[in-house]
Structure 1
């Protein structure tokens, strides 16, 4: 019997809080806010999750997220995810959120960040989970808008906000468009990550490294197309936060037997396993570990290595990383 991957202590580094909004909770929040969703029921919303690509997913994603209006909404959303993540032994989380998707609807930035911070504090009290926030900019909206939101985020001075990212529609919106935004974030002492090489070519990954100075690349599936880039990622220790079930559902890697994550690890690249938008893609983080085990033959030792990598490349403190590494060692040392 293999060890339980749901019991493996791990960090989750590629998780969009809006992508954890389960249909039942979406309808509950919409009802209390007097919002009518364009679906008859939670089941009808769930039936819309028949995605053919990234854009078809985003269309539904932003409709459901439109129900979120108050600090309590964001707190309830995040805490529901954190409770579910605790069941999968997530001990540290770096939670993505899309501020522009909400401030553009009149939601105060302080309520978004305040609600998410409230949930992180509650998760720490209940389960000892550590966590932080990464604000992702929508790359299909103007860079000037992202810069304005960044200035507002910096002014909030939230201790939970540790970094910025770049997400949403990738093709046609190269990373360099946000060069100045990420330079400003770096000046403010924030970490930088970016989605790149999901649907766009591997050149977007190189551009994210050079134009944005990112410390991690989210997805990065197309790195496998460039041996030179793979060597660079390995040499510079740039981690890829990969999401197998997401890649399958959005047809990035239609057959997970072809997913490059183990090949990349064999070539020295740091890779982590994550869930991306689990409400929409049919699985939380342990489900993603499980599908890698099922399809690619992941061993317990390899699973522990993925967990160790997730801890190593996180933005947690050195002391917290040491605590989590010990938990992974204990998991691996347990009798089958």
Structure 2
């Protein structure tokens, strides 16, 4: 049974988060990789557990923990149930995102209104996935005009869905939505960020210049500080220029 401060496997939040942070700091020192953490609510456990988890996060603040998210089956925990947990997180300055409108669920299970609820009720400033939202043209238009970032994945863990995912990504791109290529769970999906970009470039028929522009725009969707974003943009632009010279 879940208890505040201790999770099903008997490890406290504080122990878990510090272990992740040790890994992030080593990655920065040894590989130059910058990382941040977003604890995720398991919506299937219900709103009370979500509030308790957020309280754990706030009771043990860490510089590397910059927001909260939410995943698992939407029909087992629609977003409106978690309004209080998200309000608590926002009151402490954490950024907010949530999985919504995933295409491994039907329109009844993961309807477009879930994206609307995440934006208007939970206060999310980006959405993870969002594929089923295309069924609502008005909401799709609103998200385009508002510039809502959607973290999307080129791969799924079910090979039979790959063709459908490609069609959906193409439709999202044609709708002018702000797409941020991501890997989700690399071991489960059998991908990495390089493969994701190559796949999306092929699916969306993007030129090299368009892929470069997409990679730069993704920085706007990140929750890094303005100074960190500026530094990374300079690094990205230098790398893009270097690769362009090699190609030439």
Superimposed CA distance per residue, residues 118-171 of structure 1 (whole angstroms, 9 cap, x where no aligned partner): 111111111222221101000110211111121111111111111011101122
| More displaced stretch, 117-126 vs 168-177 | 168-177
Q: Which runs of 5+ in 1 are unaligned?
A: 1-99
Q: Which runs of 5+ in 2 are unaligned?
A: none
- RMSD over equivalenced CA pairs, Å: 1.9
Alignment check: 8 A CA contact 2:99 2:130 kept: yes
TM-score (norm 1): 0.65
Is 1:104 the equivalent of 2:8?
yes
Cross-structure match for 1:249: 158
Question: In 2, distance between residues paired with 1:135 and 1:322?
Answer: 25
Higher strand share: 1
Is 1:221 the equivalent of 2:125?
no
User: Aligned residue pairs: how many?
Assistant: 234
Q: Report how far residue 317 of structure 1 moved.
A: 1.2
Is 1:259 the equivalent of 2:168?
yes
Cross-structure match for 1:129: 33
| More displaced stretch, 292-301 vs 198-207 | 292-301
Could you tell me which of 210, 215, 220 is aligned with 1:312?
Answer: 220
TM-score (norm 2): 0.87
Cross-structure match for 2:22: 118
Alignment check: 8 A CA contact 1:140 1:169 kept: yes
For the structure 1 residues 196 and 228, does the alpha-carbon distance in structure 2 shift closer, same or farther, using more than 3 Å as the test? same
Larger relative contact order (CA 8 Å, sep ≥ 6): 1
- After superposition, residues 317-328 of structure 1 pair within 5 angstroms as 317-328=225-236
Question: In 2, distance between residues paired with 1:273 and 1:230?
Answer: 18
Alignment check: 8 A CA contact 2:38 2:68 kept: yes
Cross-structure match for 1:206: 116
